[in-house]
Every structure is written in structure tokens, then in C-alpha cells.
A and B are shown apart, each in its own frame.
Chain A
Amino acid sequence: MSAPRSTASLRHRLAERGIDPLLMLVLPALLFTIALFVYPFAYGIGLTFQPTAATVQKWGGGVFANYLAFFGDPFVRDSVWITMRLAVPAALFNVVLSVPVAMVLRRRFRGKRLLSSMLVLPITLGTVLTAQGLLIFAGRQGWINRALEAIGLIDEPLKLVNNYLGVMFSLIITGFPFAFLLVSSYLSGIDPSLEAAARTLGAGWWSRFRKVVLPLLAPGLATTFILTFVLAFSVFPSARLVGDPGGTTRVMALMAYRSFGEQLDYPMASTIALLMGVVELVVVAIVFAWRSLLYKGSTGGKG
């Protein structure tokens, strides 16, 4: 093996290690990502250390003034907690609920196609239409409050929008279809004969789910949680439109945009945006660490 390698051309030796002209195909995408993702990102990090004169004057700290401002100003600092309080429950809710729904929809029954397309429909709505619809449907004069008043459940209209609850509804309506699609595709990758075998051995539905399906599904659930969390974490139109943007739904994205678009303080905007990425990556890293403890082998799928 070593003798022919020493006489082979450089090109041949490189090819043995996997470097050959075909590799050039990855270059366009790579260069693009470096130019439009890595470079701006590095530029943004640099920008966070170039605070505006006003920030330095107010918070001091020289090049770290932006960070001092972020952690010193409770109006901005609290947005971290506010964002987590919205994104984590919403993502958990969507993932946990899509498991039973996906299990039920795995069976065949009349109207299944209609039902699954209904569940996917909100993808076409987008956050903005969902916000508009929620404002009308769940507002003070909306059909929900009207119906509840008509059957005598409530006397006063419930306040369902322009607060925490409104944003939560919007996150569930836009996030659930996404979680459902992912979970059902993971579920379809689990070989049904495993469950059939468990049933032959006398396992009830709960132990079949708990001991067979869930361990195989858990890595997929972790991935789904991450993707749903990313979606919910960067929520921003709905926090502004159906939320209470000055108070309980003052999410980080809103703060970043306030600095960028309204105060034109680009260094501060970059700082908030980067810290947002840091907070999110911490959550993602925790979930990934937990996921690496789980079973990673074949699920009986051919992939």
C-alpha cells in the first residue's frame, strides 16, 4: 500500500484523501456563505465593541459600553426572560401535543387526508394574517367572546389578545403544524413491526409507547423541539401585533429592531442580536447534549 503511494502523483495522493476536482462543486455555496453569513457576522461582532458616543457617555466602560447597556438597562435585560417565557412553553407544547396527534393520524380512516391538510393549513397563513385573524376573532367583540357570552359562561369579554396569551395562541397556531409535520415524518421512520413484536409479547398500549416508540422517537423529538424553539424564539411580528410590545411580550427581537430601525444605533442593535444568538445557542446546546445521551441506532427505516 505504501510503495505505490510514494510513486503516485500529488494529484493522485490528494485524491486518495478525498481531495479532487469534484470538490470544487462545494465552493460556490461555501464562498456565498462566507460572504453573506460569516463576514457580516464577524463585522457585527466587531461592531458591538464600537459603541456610539451616546452609549459610552451614558453607561461608560469604553468598548464594552454596549454590553454594560444591555445588562444594565432593565428594560432591555428583562427581554431575555420574557422571550424565554414565551418560546420555551410554546415549543414544548407544540412538540408534546404533536406526538399523540401524529400517532392517531398514522392510522387510516376516512377524512384523514382532509384532516392532515387542515393541520398544515396555518403554514399558508403566516404570522401576519394569524395576527389579524386573532385580533378580530378573539378580540373583545370577536366570535369567541360572543359565543361564550351567549351560552352564559362569562359576563365580561375575556382579554385574549394584546397580551401574553395572544402571542402564545399565535405561536401555537403557526408552530404546531411545523412540529406535527416533523414528528409524523420521524414516526413514519419507525418500523411498525417493532411495535407488532411488542404486542405479541403482551405489552399494553402504554408500555408499547413508553418502552418501544418513545425511545426511538426521542432524538427526533429533540430535533423538532430545537427547530420549533428557533421559530418561536425569533417571534417578532406577532409579539408586536397581538402582544403587549411594551410589557409582557417585549421580546429580544423587538428590542433589537427598536435599536436598529427606530434609534438607528447599529452597534447596540448588533449587540442585542448577538446576545440573542448566544441565549438561543445555549438552549440548543443543552438539548443537543441531552440528545446525545439517547439511542442513536437504526429505527428500522431504510434511510
Chain B
Amino acid sequence: MATTAPAPARSRRRAGTLPGERSLVASPSTWFVWAGMAVFLVFLLGILVTVVVDSFGKQWFDTWAPVEWTRTWYSGAWDRFELGQVIGVTVGVALAVVVISVLLGVPASYVLARRSFPGKKLVMGLFLLPILMPPITYGIPLATVMYAFGLGRTVAAVVLVNLVPSVPFVILTMTPFIEQINPSVESAARMCGASIRQVFTRVLAPLLIPGILAASILVLVRTVGMFELTFLVSGPGSDTLVVSIYRAMTSAGGGEARQLISAMAVMYTVTMLVILVVALRFVNPTQLVARVKESRDD
């Protein structure tokens, strides 16, 4: 599908263009791009399909497909790894992180977008650092502190460590978003006698909703997929889904049956897909950077 799609489009383009005019990227390089993408998609689909096939297969060693099919791996994995509880923790942690990081981040990004004050650059730099640093760099000292405070292996610790990159992330995505809202809208509301709180709840909030949704969804996806930080502080009872899959894959003595892990991985991907599909109905991730009019030669 993907590789056959351009052909009609190209011929249609050619009919519409002037004689002697060439497309933006000449055709050999275009075909090179398509070939590269085809390889990428083959790998991608291969990875996805093999995991799904594996999770339904009874025995699969040296044949093209499993000899027998079964659905027992799913119920097996569910009972074996207490997935009901794990998924509950994952969803709970993710929602808590989203709500708290929006509550902390949006007011801060409002100030950073609208005001200039002494030390603003320093504050901005402070918010940028947790995103630029590799998670392990601050994760290990942070986890050491958490264990010292007796918070290790608790759900609270998992929420806290995930907030460290999420709050700056919300600030950095929301600041340009707020900057592009015309400040005279707020001034007009103030002129008409609205208090600061009313400006926030009645004027700004409705304008900010799309940006907050986009940032929340990105934070949600990041938190559900976050491995490094969660892994450092979680334990039995506070593992999220990714961490339990990793633990199952690396458990001592050769580990669990491969199909059990495949079944878990499929459940993880389905969860993520549901989140993303719901998310993409509301937001366009590329909207976060200001957009200009659509390309004219479209």
C-alpha cells in the first residue's frame, strides 16, 4: 500500500506541472527515499507481526509459522504477572503525572511567556536541564535519595520520579503556545473588569485547552513508556507494564516462556495504540511548533 501510493500521485502531478518543470526532489532520490522507507516499514511490520503471531502460537521453532494456535498465553500472562494490578498501577501513575505536571507547569509557562524578570534565563535553564540530561544521570542520585527517605519501591516514588522530566516538558511545550495567544485579549478582559482569576478561568483556559491536551497526551505517552526512571525506584507492587515486561525478559535462569512475554508486549502496544488513537483525534503533534500555510505546490 505504502509503496504503491505515490505512483498515481506522481502522474497526476506531472500532468499539472509546466513542461520542463521538475518536482522538488528529483525522481532517483525520491525512489531512494521510498526504498528506504519500504525497508523501515518491512522491519516495523515484521517486528509487530512476529510478536503478535508468537503470542498466539503454541510452538514455534524452525518453521514459517507456529504449528498450532492457542489463546492461553494471554490468560497465562495475566495470572502469572498479576497484570490487572500492574495495568492499574500504570494507568494510575500516568494520570497522576499528567494532572500534577499540568497543574505545576501551565502557570509557570504563563509567567515565562508573558513576563520578563531578573533571573528568567536562569529559571529557563533550570527547566531545560532535566530534559537535556539522560534520565539515568539524575535518576540514580534521585533514586538514592528516595531510598534514603524510605520511599523506595512505592507508587509515590514512581509518580515523583516521572514528574521530574514531565513538569519541564509541559513548561517547554506550553510556553511557545501561550506566547502565540494575543495578550491584548487578556488586556481587554481586564479593561472590562475581570479579575486575574476570571481572566484565567474565563478567557485563557478555553484558549489553552488545545495546548494543554497536546502536552498532556505527550506526557501520558512518555510516562507509560518511561522505563529508565521507573525501573530505578519501582519494585513488586509498583512496577509499571514496561518494567514488568523487562523484568520478565531478564529474570534469572533463562526467564519466562517467550510467548508469555510476547502476549504481555502485545497488551502493552494495544494500550499505547488506544491512547494514541484517542489522542490523535484531538491533537496534531506537529501543531506544537507554529505552523504556516500549507505548502503552495500541494
Chain A bound to chain B = yes
B286 near A185 with CB under 8 A, answer yes
Given the complex, which residues of A lie within 8 Å of B111, measured CB to CB? 22-23, 25-26
B281 at the interface (CB under 8 A from A): no
A110-B9, A173-B43 as given contacts; A125 in contact with B24, CB under 8 Å: no
* B23 contacts across to A, CB distance below 8 A: 107, 205
B215 at the interface (CB under 8 A from A): no
A130 beta carbon closer than 8 Å to chain B:
yes
Name which residue of chain A comes closest to B12, CB basis. Answer: A109
In angstroms, Cα B230 to Cα A205, docked, is 47
**Cβ of B26 < 8 Å from any Cβ of A?**
yes
Closest B residue, CB atoms, query A184: B286
Mask, B115-156, CB within 8 Å of A = 1, is 111100001001101111111111111111100000000000
Answer whether residue A186 sits at the interface, using C-beta atoms and an 8 A cutoff: yes
Q: Is the CB of B298 within 8 A of A143?
A: no
Decide yes or no whether B5 CB sits under 8 A from chain A.
yes
The answer, yes or no, to whether A225 is at the interface (CB within 8 Å) is: no
A37 to B6, CA, bound (A): 48
How many positions in chain A have a CB within 8 Å of any CB in the partner chain? 114
Task: Tell me if A274 is interfacial: C-beta within 8 Å of chain B.
Answer: yes
Given A25-B111, A193-B296, A236-B136, decide whether A100 and B261 contact each other with a Cβ distance below 8 A: no
- Please, which residue of chain B has its CB at the minimum distance from the CB of A104? B33
| B48-56, B67-75, B79-87, B205-213 - the one binding chain A | B48-56
Is the C-beta of A176 less than 8 angstroms from some C-beta in chain B?
yes
Task: Flag if A176 contacts B40 (CB, 8 Å).
Answer: yes
Contact A30 B134 (CB under 8 A): no
Interface residues of B, dominant DSSP: helix
Closest chain A residue, CB of each to CB of B129: A37
- Asked whether B51 lies within 8 Å of A133 as measured between CB atoms, the reply is yes
Of the 9-residue stretches A4-12, A51-59, A69-77, A275-283, which lies at the interface with chain B?
A275-283
| Contact across chains for A181 and B246 when beta carbons are under 8 A apart | no
For A104, the chain B residues whose CB sits under 8 A away are: 25, 30, 33-34
Which positions 242-281 of chain B face chain A at CB distance < 8 Å? 242, 245-246, 249-250, 258, 261-262, 265-266, 268-269, 272-273, 276, 280
Tell me whether B168 and A274 are in contact (CB under 8 A): no
CB distance from B284 to the nearest CB of A (A): 10
Check A188–B44 contact: CB distance below 8 A.
Answer: no
Q: Mark B15-57, 1 if CB is under 8 A from A, else 0.
A: 0000000111110011011101100110110111011001000
Contact between B47 and A125, CB atoms less than 8 A apart: yes
Taking CB atoms and an 8 Å cut-off, the chain A residues in 8-22 that contact chain B are 17-20, 22
Mask: chain B, 167-182; 1 = CB below 8 Å from A; 0 = not: 1100100001000100
* Contact flag A30-B221 (CB < 8 Å), given A101-B37, A134-B47, A136-B54: no
A130 near B47: Cβ-Cβ < 8 Å: yes
Q: Which of B1, B139, B161, B296 has the most chain A CB atoms closer than 10 A to its own CB?
A: B139
A154 within 8 A of B: no
Q: Give the chain B neighbours of A148 by CB distance below 8 A.
A: none
Is A128 touching B2 in the complex (CB atoms < 8 A)?
Answer: no
Q: How far is the CA of A123 from the CA of B160 in the complex (A)?
A: 23
Do A29 and B134 form a contact, CB below 8 Å, given A129-B269, A266-B144? no
Shortest CB–CB separation between residue B155 and chain A, in angstroms?
A: 16
Are A25 and B134 closer than 8 Å at their CB atoms? no
B78 cross-chain contacts in A, Cβ below 8 A: none
B192 adjacent to chain A (CB < 8 Å): no
Task: Give how many B residues have a beta carbon under 8 Å from the other chain's beta carbons.
Answer: 108
- How far does the alpha carbon of A17 sit from the alpha carbon of B228 in the complex, in Å? 42
User: Once the chains are docked, how many angstroms separate the CA of A126 from the CA of B50?
Assistant: 16
Q: How far is the CA of A260 from the CA of B143 in the complex (A)?
A: 9
Contacts of A23 in B (CB 8 A): 111, 115, 117
User: Is A269 engaged at the interface, CB distance under 8 Å to the other chain?
Assistant: yes
Q: Do A181 and B286 contact each other (CB < 8 Å), given the known contacts A107-B297, A136-B51? A: yes
Across-interface contacts of B32 in A (CB, < 8 A): 100
B180 neighbours in A (Cβ, 8 Å):
302-303
| B132: chain A residues within 8 A (beta carbon) | 226, 230, 280-281, 284
Contact call A29/B171, Cβ cutoff below 8 A = yes
**A30 close to B126 (CB less than 8 A):** yes
Smallest CB separation, A35 vs chain B (Å):
9
Q: Which residues of A contact B283 (CB under 8 A)?
A: none
Partner of A40, one of B25, B136, B145, B221: B145
A228 to B61, CA, bound (A): 36
A70 to B43, CA, bound (A): 38
What is the CA–CA distance of A260 and B229 in the complex, to the nearest angstrom? 13
State in angstroms the CA–CA spacing of A149 and B32 once bound together. Answer: 25
List 24 interface pairs A-B (beta carbons < 8 Å), by A numbering: A18-B115, A22-B111, A23-B117, A25-B111, A32-B104, A37-B129, A110-B5, A118-B44, A120-B285, A133-B50, A138-B46, A173-B40, A188-B286, A234-B137, A237-B246, A252-B136, A253-B134, A256-B136, A260-B143, A266-B144, A273-B136, A273-B138, A281-B133, A303-B289
Rank and list the top 6 A-B pairs by shortest CB-CB distance, nearest first: A303-B290, A44-B141, A133-B47, A109-B9, A111-B5, A234-B134
Interface residues in chain B, defined as those with a beta carbon under 8 Å from any beta carbon in chain A: 1-2, 5-6, 8-10, 13, 22-26, 29-30, 32-34, 36-37, 40-41, 43-44, 46-48, 50-51, 54, 61-62, 64, 103-105, 107-108, 110-112, 115-118, 123, 126-127, 129-145, 160-161, 163-164, 167-168, 171, 176, 180, 196, 221, 225, 227-228, 232, 242, 245-246, 249-250, 258, 261-262, 265-266, 268-269, 272-273, 276, 280, 285-286, 288-293, 295-298
